[in-house]
Chains A and B, each alone.
Chain A
Amino acid sequence: MAANGTRQRLGAALWRRPWLRGAFILSPPLMWFLVVYLASLVALLATAFFSTNELTGNIVHQWTWSNFSLIFTQSVYHTIILRTVLMAIAVTVTDAVLALPFAFFIAKIARHRTRQAFLALVLLPLWASYLARVYAWINILSNHGVLPSFESHLGLPVTNLAYTNVAMWIVFSYLWLPFMIVPIYGAFEKVPDSLLEASADLGAGGWFTFRKVLLPMILPGVVAGSIFTFSLTLGDFITPLLIGGSSSNFIGNAIYDSAINGGDLPFAAALAFVSIAIMAVYLTLARLAGAFEAL
């Protein structure tokens, strides 16, 4: 009974003091997040200002700008950064062009069952089997792969896309397409049908309604999707290594090469901050364009 009373009093005390309950509930996850994730980001920033002893391969814990000055002065890194950003833009535009009509169809035209089925088919590649999907494209594009043998079977000119940047563009667009479809679908779902009917009643054609009514309302969805396509392209090293060729050096595999093969963690950390900076610039540009006002 005494233990019961204590428990009851404890429960009552917690009920009367919401901040105490809040602190009780939030402190374990926030501590984890602070200690593991935010501290790691700080460690990454610190490491970017260290250097690696070329003879011993050990990290020298002395502040230096040398990693960043190397990235800023060597033209090879300018090329890598430019190539990565152009690829991210190309992939983002491609995915938006594919996702907009598709999401419109499942949100506004398809019947309930078709909608559920199509959504499930988008969800599967969103969550699972990243490597399986990359590997599938190796089998499709390689010199003896499905596409060339299909083309030669039909007597068409054979395309040799293996290990080119065009192949990377196709595969990246394929990989991140679900990440663009889902937020755009969510945005379409929130547009009431009556709004589109009102626009039609007032004499607007389909294209005019799309441009003046739909597009402003789904723009936040497009921006949300583009953040993912951009960020995922910036951070990938698997696809450049497996699909790309000799001219497919991207920020992702430059980081991978420095950290894993080259044993130069500080330089890899500095490169990682370049991709964080690109993300920051991208988000600022999107904000300046007013893309977040509707959020």
Chain B
Amino acid sequence: MKLSRLTRGLFAAFAALVVTFLLGPLMVIVLFAFDKSNVQSLPIRHWTTHWFAVAFDDPAVRSALWLSVKAGVAATVIAMVLGTLVAFGIHRFRFFGRDTVSLFLVLPIALPGIVTGLALQSAFNISHIQLSIYTIIVGHSTFCMVVVFNNVVARLRRTSTSLIEASADLGARPLQTFRLVTLPMLSTSLIAGALLAFALSFDEVIVTTFTAGAQNTLPLWIFGAILRGQQLPEVNAVVVFVLLLTAVPVAYAAKIASGDSSEVLGRVADDKEPLASGALV
């Protein structure tokens, strides 16, 4: 579109403002994490890494971190297996109810998180299942599966099935074809899916509130501490730690999937096929 220099400049300035709005608050907490004072305020007079040491020595933070890592890894593994299988199934086969299946698949992300959390809690309550790390993993796997599904299905749509047929024609057994042809084609989308699933699980707090019972994951510890208004400098250090730990996988996933933006953007909407975006309806 032909736009005057002035209009382009105005759009660019507006975009710069939006980016500042998105990132400015994150800068603030990163700075505050290194503030020596007990009560954080600007300007920062004395800098320190003391609060990171305090947080890391806190047994409550340590056990919450360990629980988050265990739950995140387990949920990612389950989500990888189930999400990849369902992506293959939806992509390769035409069957009755296929549209309905892909519609239901995005429900855990399209419905408010509190609905998913409360629904799981109701189900555990009715079937007399005690809340534990396993109930956390079940909840996280369910929404992480959608993320992996979105990533893998976007890649499958871009790759041609003729390569797989060619491999079979040349005498490769199904497992050989999978190992030598299909898997290399999918590898980066699988890695991106796994990283994003872990980042999502490690940071999740709404569904976890209803499936964790008395235990604390790291986000639950942060939420509780902010709610009580205690240990705030420590909270700041932990929050920056979580921010870094989730930012690294997201940045890496964005980089390896950069050939297809819809893979990383997949959490929001998949625009490759009307089926998936229609599924939001």
Contact = CB atoms under 8 A, between A and B. Distances in A.
A265 interface: yes
Given A127-B246, A129-B247, A43 B119 contact: yes
B170 interface: no
B12 A150 contact: no
Q: Which of B11, B22, B23, B108 has the most CB of A within 10 A?
A: B22
A178 interface: yes
Contacts of A119: 254, 261
Interface in A251-295: 252, 255-256, 259-260, 265, 268-269, 272, 275-276, 279, 283, 287, 292, 295
A191 B209 CA distance: 42
Q: Which of A22, A38, A128, A196 has the most CB of B within 10 A?
A: A128
A44 B122 contact: yes
Contact of B82 (A32, A179, A255): A32
Given A127-B200, A268-B118, A30 B110 contact: no
A174 interface: yes
Contact of A29 (B108, B145, B246, B269): B145
B19 A131 contact: no
Nearest to A145: B41
Contacts of B36: none
A275 B112 contact: yes
A255 B114 contact: yes
Contacts of B32: 139
A165 interface: no
B277 A102 contact: no
Interface stretch (B1-9, B49-57, B58-66, B68-76): B1-9
Contact of A40 (B92, B123, B204): B123
A128 B114 contact: no
A106 to B, nearest CB: 7
B29 A132 contact: yes
Nearest to A25: B89
A22 B22 contact: no
B19 A174 contact: no
Interface in B185-207: 196, 199-200, 203-206
Contact of A276 (B89, B115, B210): B115
Given A129-B247, A139-B32, A256-B209, A272 B239 contact: no
B250 A139 contact: no
Interface in A1-47: 7-8, 11, 14-15, 18-19, 21-22, 25-26, 28-30, 32-33, 36-41, 43-44, 46-47
A107 to B, nearest CB: 11
B26 A133 contact: yes
Contacts of B163: none
A43 B116 CA distance: 11
Nearest to B268: A182
Interface string A143-177: 01110011000000000000000000000001001
Interface string A220-242: 11001101100110111110011
Interface string A106-149: 10111000001011111111111111110111111000111001
Interface string B199-224: 11001111001100000000100110
A265 B271 contact: no
Interface string B71-97: 000000000011101101110110100
B151 to A, nearest CB: 12
Given A39-B123, A127-B250, A237 B114 contact: yes
B174 A15 contact: yes
B18 A15 contact: no
A123 B250 contact: yes
A109 B89 contact: no
Contacts of B261: 119, 186
Contact of A252 (B23, B114, B271): B114
Contacts of B12: 105, 109-110
A46 B122 contact: yes
Contacts of B90: 26
B262 A129 contact: no
Given A101-B15, A133-B26, A237-B209, 18 more contacts: A21-B92, A25-B89, A39-B123, A102-B15, A122-B22, A124-B247, A124-B251, A125-B22, A127-B267, A128-B243, A137-B25, A174-B22, A179-B268, A187-B271, A235-B112, A236-B206, A255-B118, A292-B281
Interface of A: 7-8, 11, 14-15, 18-19, 21-22, 25-26, 28-30, 32-33, 36-41, 43-44, 46-47, 59, 98, 101-102, 104-106, 108-110, 116, 118-133, 135-140, 144-146, 149-150, 174, 177-179, 182-183, 185-187, 190, 193, 196-197, 199-200, 206, 209, 220-221, 224-225, 227-228, 231-232, 234-238, 241-242, 252, 255-256, 259-260, 265, 268-269, 272, 275-276, 279, 283, 287, 292, 295
14 contacts: A29-B86, A46-B126, A127-B246, A128-B247, A130-B219, A131-B219, A132-B29, A133-B26, A135-B239, A136-B29, A138-B226, A236-B112, A242-B227, A275-B115
- Shortest 4 CB-CB distances between A and B: which pairs? A235-B112, A128-B246, A136-B25, A26-B89
